[in-house]
Amino acid sequence: MQTVEFSYSMQITFSAPVVRHCFSLRCLPFNNEYQRIRELFLEVSPHNVLTETADGFGNRILTDRITEAHTEFSVYVNGIAEIDIAKKVPEELNGIYKYPSQYTACGEKLTALTEVCRPLCENQTPTETAKMVMQELRKRFTYQSGATNINTTAEEALALGKGVCQDFAHMQIAVCRALSVPARYVVGMQEGTGETHAWVEIYDNGIWVGIDPTNHKMVNDRYLTLSHGRDFADCGINRGLFVGGGTQTQTVEASVKVL
Protein backbone atom coordinates (compact mmCIF):
# COMPACT_ATOMS: atom_id res chain seq x y z
CA MET A 1 0.00 0.00 0.00
CA GLN A 2 1.10 3.55 -0.72
CA THR A 3 -0.15 6.79 0.74
CA VAL A 4 0.11 9.55 -1.85
CA GLU A 5 -0.65 13.22 -2.22
CA PHE A 6 -2.17 14.04 -5.59
CA SER A 7 -3.05 17.22 -7.41
CA TYR A 8 -4.54 18.17 -10.75
CA SER A 9 -4.78 21.68 -12.13
CA MET A 10 -6.11 22.98 -15.42
CA GLN A 11 -6.43 26.55 -16.63
CA ILE A 12 -8.01 27.73 -19.87
CA THR A 13 -7.57 31.33 -21.01
CA PHE A 14 -9.93 32.66 -23.69
CA SER A 15 -9.07 35.59 -25.96
CA ALA A 16 -12.69 36.78 -25.84
CA PRO A 17 -15.43 36.44 -23.21
CA VAL A 18 -17.27 33.12 -22.94
CA VAL A 19 -20.97 32.95 -22.07
CA ARG A 20 -23.41 30.11 -21.48
CA HIS A 21 -20.54 27.75 -20.64
CA CYS A 22 -21.78 24.19 -19.97
CA PHE A 23 -19.13 21.70 -18.91
CA SER A 24 -18.52 18.22 -17.52
CA LEU A 25 -15.35 17.25 -15.65
CA ARG A 26 -13.93 13.81 -14.88
CA CYS A 27 -11.24 15.08 -12.53
CA LEU A 28 -12.31 13.42 -9.26
CA PRO A 29 -10.57 10.11 -8.44
CA PHE A 30 -12.45 6.91 -7.72
CA ASN A 31 -13.04 6.21 -4.04
CA ASN A 32 -13.30 2.43 -3.71
CA GLU A 33 -11.91 -0.65 -1.98
CA TYR A 34 -8.36 -0.26 -3.34
CA GLN A 35 -8.15 3.53 -3.74
CA ARG A 36 -9.30 5.25 -0.57
CA ILE A 37 -9.55 9.03 -0.76
CA ARG A 38 -8.72 10.36 2.71
CA GLU A 39 -8.71 14.09 1.91
CA LEU A 40 -10.09 15.99 -1.08
CA PHE A 41 -10.11 19.66 -1.99
CA LEU A 42 -11.82 20.96 -5.13
CA GLU A 43 -11.94 24.44 -6.62
CA VAL A 44 -13.65 25.29 -9.92
CA SER A 45 -13.67 28.94 -11.02
CA PRO A 46 -15.97 30.36 -12.06
CA HIS A 47 -18.88 28.05 -11.23
CA ASN A 48 -22.56 28.28 -10.55
CA VAL A 49 -24.01 25.12 -8.96
CA LEU A 50 -21.65 22.16 -9.28
CA THR A 51 -23.43 18.80 -9.43
CA GLU A 52 -21.72 15.42 -9.04
CA THR A 53 -23.15 12.41 -10.87
CA ALA A 54 -21.76 9.17 -12.33
CA ASP A 55 -21.71 7.95 -15.90
CA GLY A 56 -22.42 4.42 -17.13
CA PHE A 57 -18.85 3.35 -16.34
CA GLY A 58 -19.03 4.58 -12.75
CA ASN A 59 -16.78 7.59 -13.39
CA ARG A 60 -17.42 10.62 -11.17
CA ILE A 61 -18.63 13.61 -13.21
CA LEU A 62 -18.97 17.24 -12.20
CA THR A 63 -21.38 19.31 -14.29
CA ASP A 64 -22.39 22.96 -14.24
CA ARG A 65 -23.62 25.82 -16.40
CA ILE A 66 -21.94 29.23 -16.04
CA THR A 67 -24.01 32.15 -17.21
CA GLU A 68 -21.68 35.03 -16.32
CA ALA A 69 -19.14 36.15 -18.95
CA HIS A 70 -15.56 35.04 -18.25
CA THR A 71 -12.17 34.84 -19.99
CA GLU A 72 -10.58 32.26 -17.68
CA PHE A 73 -11.70 28.85 -16.46
CA SER A 74 -9.72 26.87 -13.91
CA VAL A 75 -9.94 23.59 -12.01
CA TYR A 76 -7.84 22.50 -9.04
CA VAL A 77 -8.05 19.18 -7.23
CA ASN A 78 -5.81 18.16 -4.34
CA GLY A 79 -5.95 15.33 -1.85
CA ILE A 80 -4.52 12.33 -0.03
CA ALA A 81 -5.18 8.75 -1.13
CA GLU A 82 -4.27 5.27 0.10
CA ILE A 83 -3.74 2.95 -2.86
CA ASP A 84 -3.50 -0.84 -2.53
CA ILE A 85 -4.24 -2.69 -5.78
CA ALA A 86 -3.95 -5.99 -3.91
CA LYS A 87 -7.38 -5.14 -2.47
CA LYS A 88 -9.11 -5.18 -5.85
CA VAL A 89 -12.16 -7.43 -5.78
CA PRO A 90 -13.65 -9.52 -8.60
CA GLU A 91 -16.11 -7.73 -10.87
CA GLU A 92 -18.62 -9.02 -13.36
CA LEU A 93 -17.39 -8.38 -16.90
CA ASN A 94 -19.23 -5.84 -19.02
CA GLY A 95 -19.22 -7.35 -22.50
CA ILE A 96 -18.50 -4.04 -24.22
CA TYR A 97 -14.83 -4.42 -23.28
CA LYS A 98 -14.53 -7.44 -25.59
CA TYR A 99 -15.17 -5.58 -28.82
CA PRO A 100 -13.59 -2.81 -30.94
CA SER A 101 -14.58 0.76 -30.11
CA GLN A 102 -14.27 4.15 -31.79
CA TYR A 103 -10.48 4.40 -31.37
CA THR A 104 -9.54 0.71 -31.24
CA ALA A 105 -10.85 -0.88 -34.44
CA CYS A 106 -8.24 -3.05 -36.15
CA GLY A 107 -7.14 -2.24 -39.69
CA GLU A 108 -4.35 -3.79 -41.72
CA LYS A 109 -1.51 -2.78 -39.36
CA LEU A 110 -3.17 -3.87 -36.12
CA THR A 111 -4.42 -7.11 -37.67
CA ALA A 112 -0.88 -7.95 -38.78
CA LEU A 113 0.44 -7.23 -35.28
CA THR A 114 -2.30 -9.39 -33.77
CA GLU A 115 -1.25 -12.32 -35.96
CA VAL A 116 2.37 -11.88 -34.87
CA CYS A 117 1.27 -12.02 -31.23
CA ARG A 118 -1.23 -14.86 -31.54
CA PRO A 119 1.20 -17.83 -31.56
CA LEU A 120 3.33 -16.17 -28.88
CA CYS A 121 0.29 -15.92 -26.59
CA GLU A 122 -1.07 -19.41 -27.08
CA ASN A 123 -2.12 -21.02 -23.76
CA GLN A 124 -1.10 -17.88 -21.85
CA THR A 125 -3.13 -16.11 -19.15
CA PRO A 126 -4.71 -12.76 -20.02
CA THR A 127 -1.99 -10.96 -18.05
CA GLU A 128 0.80 -12.89 -19.78
CA THR A 129 -0.85 -12.18 -23.14
CA ALA A 130 -1.01 -8.46 -22.36
CA LYS A 131 2.68 -8.44 -21.42
CA MET A 132 3.58 -10.11 -24.71
CA VAL A 133 1.53 -7.55 -26.66
CA MET A 134 3.30 -4.77 -24.76
CA GLN A 135 6.69 -6.21 -25.73
CA GLU A 136 5.75 -6.38 -29.41
CA LEU A 137 4.41 -2.81 -29.33
CA ARG A 138 7.69 -1.61 -27.85
CA LYS A 139 9.53 -2.96 -30.93
CA ARG A 140 7.29 -1.03 -33.31
CA PHE A 141 6.30 2.20 -31.58
CA THR A 142 8.22 5.14 -30.10
CA TYR A 143 7.01 7.81 -27.71
CA GLN A 144 7.01 11.24 -29.37
CA SER A 145 4.93 14.17 -28.18
CA GLY A 146 3.09 16.05 -30.91
CA ALA A 147 3.18 13.24 -33.47
CA THR A 148 -0.52 12.47 -32.96
CA ASN A 149 -3.58 14.24 -31.56
CA ILE A 150 -6.65 13.33 -29.53
CA ASN A 151 -8.45 12.16 -32.67
CA THR A 152 -5.77 9.68 -33.77
CA THR A 153 -6.97 6.08 -33.80
CA ALA A 154 -4.91 3.06 -32.80
CA GLU A 155 -4.59 1.99 -36.44
CA GLU A 156 -3.37 5.44 -37.51
CA ALA A 157 -0.89 5.61 -34.64
CA LEU A 158 0.65 2.24 -35.43
CA ALA A 159 1.03 3.28 -39.06
CA LEU A 160 2.93 6.39 -37.90
CA GLY A 161 5.09 4.40 -35.50
CA LYS A 162 5.19 7.18 -32.91
CA GLY A 163 2.85 8.90 -30.49
CA VAL A 164 1.91 9.35 -26.84
CA CYS A 165 0.34 7.41 -23.98
CA GLN A 166 -3.16 7.63 -25.48
CA ASP A 167 -1.86 5.86 -28.59
CA PHE A 168 0.03 3.19 -26.65
CA ALA A 169 -3.13 2.47 -24.65
CA HIS A 170 -5.39 2.31 -27.70
CA MET A 171 -3.07 -0.06 -29.57
CA GLN A 172 -2.67 -2.30 -26.51
CA ILE A 173 -6.44 -2.46 -26.11
CA ALA A 174 -7.03 -3.16 -29.80
CA VAL A 175 -4.67 -6.12 -29.97
CA CYS A 176 -5.71 -7.55 -26.59
CA ARG A 177 -9.37 -7.51 -27.60
CA ALA A 178 -8.50 -9.09 -30.96
CA LEU A 179 -6.82 -11.87 -28.96
CA SER A 180 -10.01 -12.33 -26.89
CA VAL A 181 -8.65 -10.53 -23.81
CA PRO A 182 -11.15 -7.91 -22.55
CA ALA A 183 -9.44 -4.56 -22.03
CA ARG A 184 -10.37 -1.02 -21.03
CA TYR A 185 -8.83 2.45 -21.20
CA VAL A 186 -7.82 4.23 -17.98
CA VAL A 187 -7.04 7.89 -17.33
CA GLY A 188 -5.26 9.02 -14.20
CA MET A 189 -1.98 10.17 -12.75
CA GLN A 190 1.31 8.44 -12.04
CA GLU A 191 4.11 9.22 -9.60
CA GLY A 192 5.90 12.43 -10.50
CA THR A 193 4.83 15.74 -11.97
CA GLY A 194 3.68 16.28 -15.53
CA GLU A 195 0.39 15.78 -17.32
CA THR A 196 -2.31 13.20 -16.82
CA HIS A 197 -1.56 9.68 -18.06
CA ALA A 198 -3.37 6.88 -19.88
CA TRP A 199 -2.89 3.16 -19.39
CA VAL A 200 -4.81 -0.11 -19.80
CA GLU A 201 -6.56 -2.63 -17.61
CA ILE A 202 -7.12 -6.18 -18.79
CA TYR A 203 -9.67 -8.58 -17.32
CA ASP A 204 -8.03 -11.62 -15.74
CA ASN A 205 -10.02 -14.08 -13.64
CA GLY A 206 -12.50 -11.42 -12.55
CA ILE A 207 -9.88 -8.78 -11.65
CA TRP A 208 -8.96 -5.70 -13.69
CA VAL A 209 -5.14 -5.79 -13.91
CA GLY A 210 -3.33 -2.57 -14.84
CA ILE A 211 -0.60 -2.46 -17.47
CA ASP A 212 1.25 0.63 -18.70
CA PRO A 213 2.53 0.05 -22.25
CA THR A 214 3.98 3.58 -22.49
CA ASN A 215 6.40 2.87 -19.62
CA HIS A 216 6.56 -0.87 -20.33
CA LYS A 217 5.56 -2.01 -16.86
CA MET A 218 2.67 -3.20 -14.72
CA VAL A 219 0.64 -0.62 -12.84
CA ASN A 220 1.46 -0.39 -9.12
CA ASP A 221 0.28 1.50 -6.05
CA ARG A 222 1.75 4.76 -7.36
CA TYR A 223 -0.95 5.23 -9.99
CA LEU A 224 -4.15 7.15 -9.18
CA THR A 225 -7.23 6.38 -11.29
CA LEU A 226 -9.63 9.11 -12.42
CA SER A 227 -11.77 7.30 -15.00
CA HIS A 228 -12.07 4.26 -17.25
CA GLY A 229 -14.05 3.28 -20.33
CA ARG A 230 -13.84 1.70 -23.78
CA ASP A 231 -11.32 4.26 -25.04
CA PHE A 232 -10.44 7.96 -24.82
CA ALA A 233 -13.94 9.00 -25.92
CA ASP A 234 -15.36 7.74 -22.60
CA CYS A 235 -12.71 9.35 -20.39
CA GLY A 236 -12.14 12.96 -21.43
CA ILE A 237 -11.36 15.03 -18.32
CA ASN A 238 -12.84 18.27 -19.62
CA ARG A 239 -15.79 18.54 -22.00
CA GLY A 240 -17.68 21.75 -22.65
CA LEU A 241 -19.90 23.83 -24.88
CA PHE A 242 -19.95 27.61 -24.83
CA VAL A 243 -20.67 30.74 -26.85
CA GLY A 244 -17.81 33.08 -27.75
CA GLY A 245 -14.30 32.55 -26.49
CA GLY A 246 -12.18 33.34 -29.54
CA THR A 247 -8.95 31.38 -29.29
CA GLN A 248 -8.00 29.51 -26.14
CA THR A 249 -4.85 28.40 -24.34
CA GLN A 250 -4.89 25.47 -21.93
CA THR A 251 -2.30 24.41 -19.35
CA VAL A 252 -2.49 21.21 -17.29
CA GLU A 253 -0.33 19.86 -14.49
CA ALA A 254 -0.77 16.59 -12.61
CA SER A 255 1.26 15.35 -9.68
CA VAL A 256 1.46 12.24 -7.48
CA LYS A 257 3.88 12.27 -4.54
CA VAL A 258 4.47 9.31 -2.23
CA LEU A 259 4.23 10.33 1.43
Task: Give the tens place of pLDDT for each residue, 213-247.
Answer: 999 999 999 999 999 999 999 999 999 899 988 89
In order of 23, 39, 121, the CA distances from 74 in angstroms are 12, 20, 46
In order of 44, 61, 126, 174, the CA distances from 50 in angstroms are 9, 10, 40, 36
pLDDT value, residue 149:
95
Residue 214, φ and ψ in degrees, nearest 5: -65, -45
CA 201, chain centre distance (Å): 10
pLDDT value, residue 205:
95
pLDDT value, residue 38:
98
pLDDT value, residue 103:
98
Per-block average pLDDT, block size 10, for the chain (259 residues)? Answer: 97 94 96 97 95 96 94 97 97 96 97 97 96 97 96 98 98 98 98 95 98 98 98 94 90 97
Percent helix, strand and coil across the chain, each to the nearest 5? 25, 45, 30
CA dist., res. 9 & res. 41, Å (int): 12
Q: Is the separation of the CB atoms in 44 and 237 below 8 Å?
A: no
Q: Is the separation of the CB atoms in 74 and 253 below 8 Å?
A: no
Q: Which of 165, 171, 174 is nearest to 143 (CA)?
A: 165
Q: List, in sequence order, every residue forming a beta bridge with 162; answer none if it has no partner.
A: 142
Task: Give the tens place of pLDDT for each residue, 182-216.
Answer: 999 999 999 999 999 999 999 999 999 999 999 99
Evaluated on CA atoms 43, 44, 45, 49, the torsion sign reads negative
Q: Is the separation of the CB atoms in 256 and 188 below 8 Å?
A: no
Exposure of 206 by Cβ count < 10 A (0-12 exposed, 13-18 middle, 19+ buried)?
exposed
Measured over all CA atoms, what is the biggest interatomic distance in the chain, rounded to whole angstroms? 60
> What number of other Cβ atoms are within 10 A of residue 185's Cβ?
27
Query: Kind of pairing, strands 142-143 and 162-163?
Result: parallel
pLDDT value, residue 245:
84
CA dist., res. 106 & res. 90, Å (int): 29
